[in-house]
Structure 1
Amino acid sequence: MGISQSPTETVLITGGGGYFGHRLGCKLHQKGVNVILFDIQKPVLAVPEGIRFIQGDIRSTSALENALTDVSCVFHTASYGMSGREQLQTRKIEEINVNGTNNLIQACINKGVGRLVYTSTFNVVFGGQEINDGDESLPYLPLHLHPDNYSRTKSIAEMIVLKANDSELKNGYGCLKTCALRSAGIYGPGEQRHLPRIIGYLETGRFKYLYGDPKNLVQFVHVDNLVLSHILAAKALTPDKNYVAAGQPYFISDGTPINNFEFFRPFVEGLGYKFPTIRLPLFLVYFIAFITEWIHFLISPIYNFQPLLTRTEVYKTGVTHYFSIEKAKRDLGYEPQGHNMHEVAEWFKSHGYSNQARKVKNRSYIWDILFVLLFLLVILSWIPRVGSATY
């Protein structure tokens, strides 16, 4: 069964080359839906026969309009700047997350696409403050309080998407129906962004410390639960469901909050690594992240190194923030299935990612340290000269 009454409808997934977009497309394809994956980069994973891939840039309205021919629903999963050094490329983040979303909405209106499901984030309401069992009545975090441009632009994009609900489509096609799914951190077998980065830290010996209060709680969402929520949301934008999700945001997670580091313990130990026991204060780690961001800002034009952590990542992993999924259960019929990191560790282990199967590669990390230290030495040696020249 497709996502609506028609088993032959066509949907388009922006960011379809990414881990989640690809997974969503495969699931919809299995349900008999015609799927188009739209992305600027080709999928790393194989595209099953019957799924169409269009290479295009969300910053181009004409490219989007060409791809949206005969499409009835769009899943907008494309974004940029979620983590690591990408998080520090402010201009590109703005172009893709904000301008790209505006382009997509205009393309939907021009091409008569009636539904748009937007993949949002917890970060639209969270910026480092503690939140216990929050719900959708929480206001957006003021834009100037976001510690990173990704969160700020995702918040703007969500506002744009929800404001576009009930926009009149051209050529008498009716109105555009939109909703936003605020996702927790995604995990699952073969996840391509966060887990390989953690593995890299394990291999290079950088994952040696914990931080923050061990009682701090956060949430995660398994990729298949997030896929389920998107399919249900698309259905909830149809007349059969009385457009119950139209104009609405929803928090999506596995449900039960857990300490960030305890969540990853089965993954770390499952790959054969020793779990850290030394715990650092949160303010110290945040300060280090702050200094690292400034160093990256200064030297990235000549050396774009990967920061160990950014300030936002420190907040997201070290400060309590979790949300109720009752609204998604009530409106969408969302019931997350049970998953854990044991099964994910087994997947990575079976694909050669383990302490026994892989050699530790310290060289790139050592060069990062040496380059940053050299840069600091140059700056420190230059400062006295500037001071003496002033007087």
Structure 2
Amino acid sequence: MSFAKLGLLPFIIGDANVKTDWVYVDNLVLALILASMGLLDDIPMTGGHPVAAGQPYFISDVRDKEIDYFFHRISNSFEFLRPLLRSLDYDLPTASLTVTHALILGKIFQAIYTLLYPWLNRWWLPQPFILPAEVYKVGVTHYFSFLKAKQELGYVPMVTPREGMAATISYWQDRKRKMLDGPTIYAWLFCVIGMGTLSVQLTYQIQDQCRSSELSVFSSSVRCG
């Protein structure tokens, strides 16, 4: 979101058919509570064995009847975030970048920030633009069934994708009203380059005026002599 605010979200990564599963925080908390309850050994019909002990579970915001809507209409992370970005009046990515090219770019940033490791916690060092892990996160399909969590833990999403997105949009709009957005990175660059150019020009003008004054004083001295 910080990159979108600065106007640094110029492209989407990966194929348009890539599917990414998002989980709203309320559903995540529900799953954690159910999993913690599944660690108890006094649950009926489990034979005294904690059903969730050592078991991995996948969860989702999508209920059974909404799988078709979610899986086919929402193509990837960028499409999922499009309503949120549009509601905040942030620029939407128009170009696309293949996973291969994005990985190359991510590895370049990874190498640069590896060299900058001693200064990673300094305030003046920005976060890397992209890293390989983020490329795999948004450029590769991540979609799993929560059937196991439903059968063993009783997990059923409390919040649907539509409801979760509506709540997320409301949160970010309220946050934007309370916090003034700064200019995009392009405006910053324009100001920095413009001010730098203006400073150089003023410096040259001052130097020229000083030289002219020195020549005038020298000419006056010669005449008096």
TM-score of the superposed pair, with normalisation by structure 1 = 0.40
CA distance in structure 1 between the partners assigned to 2:16 and 2:7 by the alignment: 22
TM alignment of 1:137-152, pairs within 5 A: none
Q: Is the 8 A contact 1:229 1:334 kept in 2?
A: yes
Indicate which of 149, 155, 158 corresponds to 1:328: 149
Residue 268 of structure 1: how far off its partner (Å): 0.5
Q: Is the 8 A contact 1:270 1:346 kept in 2?
A: no
> SS of the counterpart of 1:306?
coil
Indicate which of 82, 87, 92 corresponds to 1:265: 82
Aligned to 1:362: 185
The percentage of counterpart residues that share the same residue type is 37
Deviations 1:39-72 (A, max 9, x none): xxxxxxxxxxxxxxxxxxxxxxxxxxxxxxxxxx
Residue 357 of structure 1: how far off its partner (Å): 4.8
Indicate which of 220, 241, 263 corresponds to 2:22: 220
TM alignment of 1:159-198, pairs within 5 A: 198=1
TM alignment of 1:1-391, pairs within 5 A: 198=1, 200-238=2-40, 239-241=42-44, 242=46, 243-255=50-62, 256-257=70-71, 258=74, 259-302=76-119, 304-337=125-158, 338=160, 339-352=163-176, 357-360=180-183, 362=185
Deviations 1:63-86 (A, max 9, x none): xxxxxxxxxxxxxxxxxxxxxxxx
CA distance in structure 2 between the partners assigned to 1:264 and 1:222 by the alignment: 13
CA distance in structure 2 between the partners assigned to 1:351 and 1:334 by the alignment: 31
The higher relative CO (CA closer than 8 Å, separation ≥ 6) is in 2
Residue 240 of structure 1: how far off its partner (Å): 2.2
Q: Structure 1 residues 353, 212: closer, same or farther in 2, change over 3 A?
A: farther
Q: Structure 1 residues 360, 342: closer, same or farther in 2, change over 3 A?
A: farther
Q: How many pairs does the alignment contain?
A: 167
Residue 320 of structure 1: how far off its partner (Å): 1.2
Residue 274 of structure 1: how far off its partner (Å): 3.0
> SS of the counterpart of 1:221?
coil
> SS of the counterpart of 2:100?
helix
Residue 322 of structure 1: how far off its partner (Å): 1.2
Residue 203 of structure 1: how far off its partner (Å): 2.1
> SS of the counterpart of 1:279?
strand
The CA RMSD over aligned residues, in Å, is 2.5
CA distance in structure 2 between the partners assigned to 1:328 and 1:261 by the alignment: 27
Q: Structure 1 residues 353, 307: closer, same or farther in 2, change over 3 A?
A: farther
Q: Is the 8 A contact 1:271 1:353 kept in 2?
A: no
Residue 353 of structure 1: how far off its partner (Å): 5.6
Q: Structure 1 residues 299, 236: closer, same or farther in 2, change over 3 A?
A: closer
> SS of the counterpart of 1:352?
helix
Q: Which amino acid aligns with 1:268?
A: L
Q: Is the 8 A contact 2:9 2:91 kept in 1?
A: no
> SS of the counterpart of 1:340?
helix
CA distance in structure 2 between the partners assigned to 1:297 and 1:305 by the alignment: 14
Structure 2 gap ranges (5+): 63-69, 190-225
Q: Is the 8 A contact 1:221 1:254 kept in 2?
A: yes
> SS of the counterpart of 1:214?
coil
Residue 361 of structure 1: how far off its partner (Å): 5.2
List structure 1 segments (4+ residues) > 6 angstroms apart after TM superposition. none
CA distance in structure 2 between the partners assigned to 1:330 and 1:271 by the alignment: 39
CA distance in structure 1 between the partners assigned to 2:13 and 2:39 by the alignment: 42
Structure holding more helix per residue: 2
CA distance in structure 2 between the partners assigned to 1:318 and 1:248 by the alignment: 27
Q: Is the 8 A contact 1:219 1:322 kept in 2?
A: yes
CA distance in structure 2 between the partners assigned to 1:260 and 1:305 by the alignment: 23
Q: Is the 8 A contact 1:296 1:305 kept in 2?
A: no
Deviations 1:245-301 (A, max 9, x none): 122111122235441111111110111123222112221111000011001111232
